Structure 1
């Protein structure tokens, strides 16, 4: 008998599927293994070290019997029943032993806990919010009113949000990574990591995790990235990596040892893109801040901020004067911030809106000498600039330039921005700046009309003469040329990189020719460049590159060009949502997906760090990195409170419990 068992080759019996419907077969290293489908759906509840979670080739019915009776499997089955029908018998404690009112109570408590975590408030706020609701007549029972209860609820909420996201991520064969670092309130260096992948046919950035940096070097950053993907269960992440996005710091993009260089040693096809929005900021600062007049304008704006931010008396006087003049005013703003362009544009807009009130108050400050010497000195400088025609011309010119650049910056910071969209926005910006050589911008045009007689808001301007206008026109051309040249220099990769150029033209139907003869050959060389560069990752993802180039691409061109112009702009999203298109163009759409997930901006990382500042404050400086990660995920990726499915989370929480829950 022993010899027979040694020689016997066991196989999976089809009849087992009837007795054990949860068992599935998957190939592991080209050999079939048994898995528990239900346990795989609920990794936070399942036994991750168990055979049916990792896979087993021991085809014995006794193995199936043992797993079906295991404690973790029973909990996963209960969770599955709760997910399928939250009001069914899968929740024996609350939904069968308690009444519907008790169900409503626990749902309200879970929603309250979600509100606390979504808005970044500490768990200690939870009891007072419960008390407030009870004061307003909301029935919330007597149990689970402590901050520890809120903490437990938060962990269940995280699991409910995280598990489907992780399943989605693991199913993706292609994605890009965005990374940036920041220091939290406890002076820890943290690496924030996002992934960019397709969701419903459109590229989106998703917060993945934060990890503490052990050293702020390229090696340290790469180690943090590896630790993040190891933590979430994707150690083979580099096999799916298409692009890497960062803010352009030397430690990230350095050619001799930056993170992107180290990654490219393992991922030769990697596309490294410096954040376009950050590059725009640098280009604008290089061109505008280098001008001596701009430095004076910047000093003026900083002086105005100091004048009214640090002196309540000056701000009261300015408001009182605005009431007398019957004009609403905005408080002068600071120039600091993550994004310099919107801040300085807002400061200039505020200055020109408040012009008559600010000038009147500054002149009054000088005449009455009712302030400190520093404030009087700032007032004199301010009056000197605000009453000078040539300087005001420069101010409104810069305002027009910054408005155009700010619009581009906001477009580049959008999560769903794609390569064609970014290039089109960049080219539109260059066109608008070039047109300013001969046509005045909106702010300059308004100023010229209102100051045609040498007065602005009934205030006589100095240097109002033809010489000032001629000098300004020369300065305007020079400044515009410098801005345009700086932008082209910073964004030269969009025009010179053959991979990015090929990718942009390939997926943008607006770039396709309309003549049949030209359309027939269009894109073949671009597609060849892309498929050759990404050959390894495409082959690993199961893409038939030859099929994509020779059969699917010509067919796709015919289908797309036959569509109305309005539909062509979102054609790829429609293709990914259409099962018939997915079946007709599986290989081509894999190439398109690869292009769409290229990372163009790290604005998402900066928004994540803003959320971190809201969550990890001085009062929560001891918050562990793991807890911070989970709270950040809820805050960033969780739905609005109005859309939160508390019933589903309650079902999960009750099903995972090892003893009766009380309300």
Structure 2
């Protein structure tokens, strides 16, 4: 009623908005995509009258554009070099804005309430006379200045009880209390569903439906256990204020996500960080780019935090770079603070000239690129298989084996049942231990070139399930209805009954077992690059030791396996017979072939590949020119000497094992204040990314949030839900009252708290 009254009797002031379209429905605008740089914003008067307040609230919610880490350019003013000072943001934190594009400052409040035709330097042109700071104070002026009037209007806009519409709506204390209960209940139910990433909507939400979806059913349950809630929700609430619509749900989810991001950026505290980026398709075939920030918090602990998904229509390096710029602009982050980049090594990411890495390095030379350690380690296996014929044949046969044995549910069930029977017999003979978590059901795992540790897992399962797999192959050989399957099963069976299979199975199982330990360690979020390099060197040394001393133990393991599974052994002292040319003399023994031409060669190639793949990160000992000026670099060596002598005599540092623990201990003992340059150097080392495992985990969460049954989920909804689901540590800390206040301030609400 009040809206009709306003539209009928109150005339709007004339603006430069097109009057011919003022009565038409306003076009939808993306409030999250509003220009962040003050010089790129269009006048408020150019928006539709019904959208102006929404735009104003969106800018007030974001706050002023203050790129504190920007490298401010120098201007020659009055024959002196001058530049903008970051300290001015501290003097005027609520309204002063800086444009990186024009190198000028603006006023947020005056921009939001500037009238058409009104001239204001801090809105239209921008101010850049850095030698006259007093002009900022003059702009604020007295109580009746335009600036302070604009400040008052902004305050009134956020206090919706001051609006004209509210003055015409007569709300009683009872109505306010009931509205608060409804909103509070909606937020509680939303938080419970977000925590488990459960769908909100139901297929049929009509009154006669037996199941209306998680949200309505849980809200109904909440009312059943609390009589005061039941009286004001669902059918007992006003039809225009039930707080259950899909739009309300999405706005509440967005409020939760913004509160989580607020905590993340407070933890970052405008410090240096690294970015970890990767892209993957969701279930609706949209290419999504996940962005994770790696930084050191105030306690000296390494953190990797997910900040959002960005839908990219193309996966070219330019498209990805543009998406990152948009995301950084949205959250007021700066590329100048980036000290590392972590990708999976694809050409669009790590290309030397046109990759995403190169594009970012052009803007920031300190953003060192680190190829994901875990991906590099996986590529070592692939490279080895491609270079060694016998190893290539082994993995090819293993791949064919998984295709044949796992081709149908019936064959997989045969593996499970056969394994179960053998396990019962072994337990009866007391050959295996029993207990909680032991002797779980197993199946043959499929190896993948880009799946970490998948090859090692496959080989371990082959050793465990070997008798069972042989039985399944024999079944396929004898009862297969398709000749192709029979021939495949027969060929694989013959290879698996050979000594070569047993030998390469145990050789690669041991080699991948050594590297698998490294792979698991690299996937830790708090892993630092210094410790990672040491582990790579330790792994190389372990492989080198195995090369020199491990052949005899390997042969014993293979002999035991062959004896247990009725595989014909090979006489190591007999002459080796080449299977391709059986009549041709080789003049070498079997020991020479398996030890020299296979064992030593494979390990040499493995060690060499690890050295080649990880060579570039071993050189990351350069100085950061933008983080230490000339005087600080000169003083750093002296501070290091003093620091080392001090630490050696402090027993609290006796059990420190790596630089991550060292940084944490420095904060605990307050030594980061006494040795700021050393601590800064430690942080720069810790910020460098090691692996993109956090990004991969984000994609796993994305597939859990957006499923085939929820494939129409919008990009903004998906991002907000993923932020809440992934960053549960911060999500659990979000106060319901903060969400309610943010929800109320998003736009004009029908009812007030």
Q: What's the TM-score, normalizing by structure 2?
A: 0.67
Indicate whether 1:481 and 2:571 are aligned: no
Q: Distance in 1 between matches of 2:734 and 2:319?
A: 37
Structure 1 residues 47-86: aligned runs within 5 Å: 49-50=108-109, 57=137, 58-62=139-143, 66=149, 69-72=152-155, 75=158
RMSD: 4.0
Structure 1 residues 89-108: aligned runs within 5 Å: 98=177
Indicate whether 1:421 and 2:476 are aligned: no
Q: Distance in 2 between matches of 1:443 and 1:212?
A: 53
Q: For residues 409-456 of structure 1, what are the alpha-carbon distances to aligned partners after superposition, in whole Å with 9 as ceiling and x for unaligned?
A: 2222222221111111101211221122244499958834734xx511
Match of 1:259?
356
Task: Give how far 1:123 is off.
Answer: 3.4
Q: 1:299 aligns with which of 367, 389, 396?
A: 396
Q: Secondary structure at the match of 2:505?
A: helix
Match of 2:257?
158
Q: 2:683 aligns with which of 593, 597, 620?
A: 593
Task: Give how far 1:238 is off.
Answer: 2.6
Match of 2:570?
464
Q: Distance in 2 between matches of 1:283 and 1:639?
A: 35
Indicate whether 1:604 and 2:694 are aligned: yes
Q: For residues 610-653 of structure 1, what are the alpha-carbon distances to aligned partners after superposition, in whole Å with 9 as ceiling and x for unaligned?
A: 33333344555454433333233222223387666545534654
Structure number having the greater helix percentage: 1
Asked if structure 2 preserves the Cα contact closer than 8 Å seen for 1:434 and 1:480, the reply is: yes
Q: Secondary structure at the match of 1:415?
A: coil
Q: Distance in 1 between matches of 2:631 and 2:739?
A: 38
Q: 2:500 aligns with which of 385, 390, 393?
A: 390
Q: Secondary structure at the match of 2:340?
A: strand
Q: 1:113 aligns with which of 190, 193, 211?
A: 190
Q: 2:484 aligns with which of 365, 368, 374?
A: 374
Match of 1:556?
643
Indicate whether 1:232 and 2:328 are aligned: no
Match of 2:272?
174
Q: Secondary structure at the match of 1:588?
A: helix
Q: Distance in 1 between matches of 2:667 and 2:552?
A: 42
Asked if structure 2 preserves the Cα contact closer than 8 Å seen for 1:95 and 1:103, the reply is: no
Change in Cα spacing, 1:211 to 1:487, as seen in structure 2 (3 Å) is: same
Indicate whether 1:128 and 2:216 are aligned: no
Q: Distance in 1 between matches of 2:631 and 2:417?
A: 70
Asked if structure 2 preserves the Cα contact closer than 8 Å seen for 1:279 and 1:490, the reply is: yes
Change in Cα spacing, 1:316 to 1:589, as seen in structure 2 (3 Å) is: closer
Match of 1:29?
84
Q: 2:635 aligns with which of 544, 547, 553?
A: 547
Change in Cα spacing, 1:183 to 1:365, as seen in structure 2 (3 Å) is: closer
Q: Distance in 2 between matches of 1:112 and 1:161?
A: 17
Q: Distance in 1 between matches of 2:726 and 2:95?
A: 27
Q: Secondary structure at the match of 1:201?
A: coil
Structure 1 residues 183-202: aligned runs within 5 Å: 183-199=281-297, 200-202=299-301
Q: Distance in 2 between matches of 1:39 and 1:606?
A: 39
Task: Give how far 1:399 is off.
Answer: 0.9
Asked if structure 1 preserves the Cα contact closer than 8 Å seen for 2:306 and 2:723, the reply is: yes
Q: For residues 454-513 of structure 1, what are the alpha-carbon distances to aligned partners after superposition, in whole Å with 9 as ceiling and x for unaligned?
A: 511xx3211432245553223111111111111111111234x2xx2x3xxxxxxxxxxx
Match of 1:148?
247
Asked if structure 1 preserves the Cα contact closer than 8 Å seen for 2:499 and 2:567, the reply is: yes
Gaps of 5+ in 1: 1-23, 41-46, 79-91, 503-528
Q: Distance in 2 between matches of 1:106 and 1:538?
A: 51
Q: 1:207 aligns with which of 301, 306, 310?
A: 306
Q: For residues 33-71 of structure 1, what are the alpha-carbon distances to aligned partners after superposition, in whole Å with 9 as ceiling and x for unaligned?
A: 68676899xxxxxx9932599995324341686467445
Q: 2:465 aligns with which of 329, 351, 354?
A: 354
Q: Distance in 2 between matches of 1:270 and 1:390?
A: 48
Gaps of 5+ in 2: 1-63, 69-82, 97-105, 113-121, 124-135, 162-170, 206-211, 234-241, 425-438, 575-589
Q: Distance in 2 between matches of 1:246 and 1:168?
A: 24
Q: Secondary structure at the match of 2:729?
A: coil
Q: Distance in 1 between matches of 2:172 and 2:482?
A: 72
Change in Cα spacing, 1:574 to 1:233, as seen in structure 2 (3 Å) is: closer
Asked if structure 2 preserves the Cα contact closer than 8 Å seen for 1:195 and 1:206, the reply is: yes
Asked if structure 2 preserves the Cα contact closer than 8 Å seen for 1:305 and 1:334, the reply is: yes
Q: For residues 101-133 of structure 1, what are the alpha-carbon distances to aligned partners after superposition, in whole Å with 9 as ceiling and x for unaligned?
A: x98876564243134334444431595224544
Asked if structure 1 preserves the Cα contact closer than 8 Å seen for 2:405 and 2:473, the reply is: no
Structure 1 residues 319-334: aligned runs within 5 Å: 319-326=416-423, 330-334=442-446
Q: 2:739 aligns with which of 636, 649, 652?
A: 649
Match of 1:217?
316
Change in Cα spacing, 1:282 to 1:584, as seen in structure 2 (3 Å) is: same
Mean alpha-carbon deviation: is it higher for 580-589 or for 62-71? 62-71
Asked if structure 2 preserves the Cα contact closer than 8 Å seen for 1:111 and 1:641, the reply is: no
Asked if structure 2 preserves the Cα contact closer than 8 Å seen for 1:241 and 1:267, the reply is: yes
Q: Distance in 2 between matches of 1:444 and 1:112?
A: 58
Mean alpha-carbon deviation: is it higher for 30-39 or for 312-321? 30-39
Q: Distance in 2 between matches of 1:95 and 1:353?
A: 69
Q: What's the TM-score, normalizing by structure 1?
A: 0.75
Match of 1:431?
541
Q: Distance in 2 between matches of 1:562 and 1:94?
A: 66
Match of 1:493?
616
Indicate whether 1:400 and 2:510 are aligned: yes
Task: Give how far 1:154 is off.
Answer: 0.4
Q: Secondary structure at the match of 1:436?
A: helix
Bigger relative contact order (CA 8 A; separation at least 6): 1
Asked if structure 2 preserves the Cα contact closer than 8 Å seen for 1:336 and 1:343, the reply is: yes
Change in Cα spacing, 1:384 to 1:578, as seen in structure 2 (3 Å) is: same
Task: Give how far 1:148 is off.
Answer: 3.4
Q: Distance in 2 between matches of 1:301 and 1:74?
A: 67
